[in-house]
Amino acid sequence: MSVFEADVPRSFRVYVNEELEKEWMGDEIERSWGKTHLGQYFCFITSKVIWYGVRLIIDEEYRNLEIKRERGVHRVGHGVVIKKDFLTREGATDFVLQNTTKYGNGEFNDYFFRARAVPNDVHENPDMYLKPGDHVQRDLDMLFFSHDGIYLGNGKVAHISGGSSNSASNSSSSSCTCMININDAQEACARIVTLKEFVLSDKQEVRIVVHCFRRKSRTEICEKARELVAERYGYGNYNILSKNCQHFATLCALGEECLTDF
C-alpha cells in the first residue's frame, strides 16, 4: 500500500538518498513510497533520460553486514533491486501503481536475496547476531554449494540432515550437508540441531540469506520449520535437485521451494 514520505523511517529515507547517489539516472521525476503486508517499506523512483526508468529500493534487513552473494538484484552491491525502462510516463506510472498494490497485499513474483556474512563470534554468541526466523547458510565442504537452514533461537537450527550422528564431532560428514551420501539419503529429513552442529567448524563463515522482501513473519517461519521437522520433511524422498536443505529453508521463509545456489 502507498504511504506518505513523512511516515517512512528516516533511516530508510537516508538509505534511499545514498543509493541514488550511486546511480546515473537523469532527472528524477517522482518517488512513490509503500509498505508491504508485513510493514516493510519500499520506494519506487521514477526518472527520465530519453525514456523513463523506474527503480525499486527496499528497506532490507541487516544492511550493516557485508554482502557475500546476491541473486536477482539489478546491480550487484547496490541497493537498487529492480530497474525497469518504459517508453511513456503512463507505462512507468502503471508499473509503480500495480506493484505497490501487489506488495501491499503480500503478492511477490520475483525472487531476490542477498547473503550477508555474520561476525565470526556468532558461533559462541548466536543470539547476539541471529534472530528466530533467519534463513541461515554456510558453505559445504565442496566448492560452489551451500547448506541452508532456519535459525529458531537459543542456538538451535532446523535443517535437513541424514541418518548419521548429528554430533559436532561428525558435522563435517555428509550427514549435515545437502550432498547426503546414498546410504543416508533414505534417512534424510528435517531435524533440529545446534548451530555448532550445523556448521563444519567454529571457524566457518555463517551467512544470513536476506530475502529482499520478507514474505513471512518470523513467527510464521519458525512455526513452519517446526511443523516440517515434526512431519519429517524429506524423509524417503530426499533429492539433491528437488528436495534438499535449500528447498526446506525457502519453503519456511518464502512459502515455496527454491534453490539458493542456482
Q: What is the mean pLDDT of residues 164-192?
A: 58
Taking only the tens place, the pLDDT of each residue in 93-127 is 999 999 999 999 999 988 899 999 999 999 999 99
CA distance 209 to 211: 6
Same domain, 99 and 134: no
Q: Is the pLDDT of residue 152 over 80?
A: yes
Taking only the tens place, the pLDDT of each residue in 19-43 is 999 999 999 999 999 999 999 999 9
- The pLDDT value given to residue 66: 96
* pLDDT bracket for residue 168 (50, 70, 90): very low
For residue 156, the SS3 value is strand
- Tell me the backbone φ, ψ of residue 213, rounded to 5 degrees: -100, 125
Enumerate residues 6+ apart whose C-beta is below 8 A from 122: 128, 129, 130, 195, 206
- The pLDDT value given to residue 183: 55
- Whether residue 261 is contained in a domain is answered as no
User: CA 77 from chain center: how many Å?
Assistant: 15
Residues of the domain holding 54 = 2-104
Q: What is the mean pLDDT of residues 127-131?
A: 98
Enumerate residues 6+ apart whose C-beta is below 8 A from 115: 67, 68, 69, 70, 137, 207, 208, 209, 210, 260
Taking only the tens place, the pLDDT of each residue in 198-225 is 998 999 999 999 999 999 999 999 999 9
CA distance 247 to 201: 24
pTM for the structure as a whole: 0.91
- Whether residue 138 is contained in a domain is answered as yes
Do residues 238 and 185 touch, judged by C-beta distance below 8 A? Answer: yes
- The pLDDT value given to residue 165: 42
For residue 220, the SS3 value is helix
- Whether residue 19 is contained in a domain is answered as yes
Q: Is the pLDDT of residue 236 over 90?
A: no
Same domain, 68 and 185: no
